[in-house]
């Protein structure tokens, strides 16, 4: 009887050896991480600071990333926000990712995408900052989804990207090495709070 060789490795003639590896979750989320009133507070408190035109490291195409950002440091006004984001991220990491983490290596980024041109084309967040590696990215949805059209956060694994939830107050978390994008916003404006959790090099 002939053996079915489909999807089999010829170990006699091949040096390949399959490792048994843990499967990590592609992404995780926490519904109602912040109430609508808290989202309004974050938007109002962040909006008083000067905004900057977002830039992308190593990319000179002005049309690649179109948004305004403000860096938000942990101060008296924002400590409550930092604490909750840290607690939720730790919980989701323990349940779904299992990464070795140190903490927030950078200030949080308050971002506004404005119609008709706001977007952020496909990119990854993972790089080294003074020896620390960005391992988890998170996005807090601050705007009500009815306030804008387009502006979807999508993770790109296959030919058809995976669209993530838009519900206000939801915290979305995914590995920083994941290819992702924000699609062009065609109406209104979308506010979000973005951050990265760092740790030692992947092993």
- In a domain, residue 15? The reply is no
Q: Report how far residue 189's alpha carbon sits from residue 114's, in angstroms, rounded to the nearest whole number.
A: 4
Q: What is the pLDDT of residues 144-163, one digit of tens each?
A: 999 999 999 999 998 889 99
Q: Report how far residue 197's alpha carbon sits from residue 176's, in angstroms, rounded to the nearest whole number.
A: 9
Q: What is the pLDDT of residues 38-88, one digit of tens each?
A: 999 999 999 999 999 998 775 656 789 999 999 999 999 999 999 999 999
- In a domain, residue 48? The reply is yes
With contact defined as beta carbons under 8 Å apart, do 147 and 113 qualify? no
Local structure of residue 49 (DSSP, 8 states): S
Measured from the Cβ of residue 3, the count of other Cβ atoms closer than 10 Å reads 6
pLDDT at residue 14, as a whole number: 59
Q: How many domains does the chain have?
A: 1
Bridge-based pairing of strands 180-182 and 153-155 is antiparallel
Residue 15 has pLDDT above 70, yes or no: no
- In a domain, residue 60? The reply is yes
pLDDT at residue 18, as a whole number: 67
Phi-psi region of 98 (alpha: psi -120 to 50; beta: other; left: phi over 0): left
Range of the domain at 155: 28-199
What tokens were used for 49?
Answer: 């600071």
CA angle 99, 100, 106 (to 5 degrees): 95
| 130 vs 120, more confident | 120
pLDDT at residue 24, as a whole number: 75
- In a domain, residue 22? The reply is no
- In a domain, residue 82? The reply is yes
- In a domain, residue 163? The reply is yes
- In a domain, residue 23? The reply is no
């Amino acid at each position: 009887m002939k053996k079915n060789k489909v999807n089999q490795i010829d170990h006699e003639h091949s040096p390949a050896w399959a490792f048994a590896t843990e499967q990590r979750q592609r992404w995780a989320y926490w519904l109602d991480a912040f109430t609508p009133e808290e989202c309004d507070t974050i938007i109002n408190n962040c909006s008083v600071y000067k905004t900057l035109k977002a830039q992308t490291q190593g990319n000179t195409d002005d049309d690649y990333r179109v948004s305004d950002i403000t860096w938000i440091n942990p101060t008296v006004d924002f400590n409550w926000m930092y604490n909750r984001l840290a607690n939720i991220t730790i919980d989701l990491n323990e349940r779904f990712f299992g990464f070795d983490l140190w903490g927030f290596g950078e200030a949080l980024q308050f971002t506004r995408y404005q119609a008709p041109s706001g977007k952020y084309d496909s990119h990854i967040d993972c790089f080294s900052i003074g020896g620390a590696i960005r391992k988890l990215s998170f996005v807090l949805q601050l705007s009500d989804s009815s306030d804008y059209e387009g502006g979807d956060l999508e993770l790109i694994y296959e030919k058809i990207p995976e669209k993530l939830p838009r519900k206000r107050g939801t915290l979305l978390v995914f590995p920083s090495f994941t290819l992702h994008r924000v699609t062009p916003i065609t109406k209104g404006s979308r506010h979000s709070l973005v951050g990265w959790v760092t740790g030692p090099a992947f092993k």
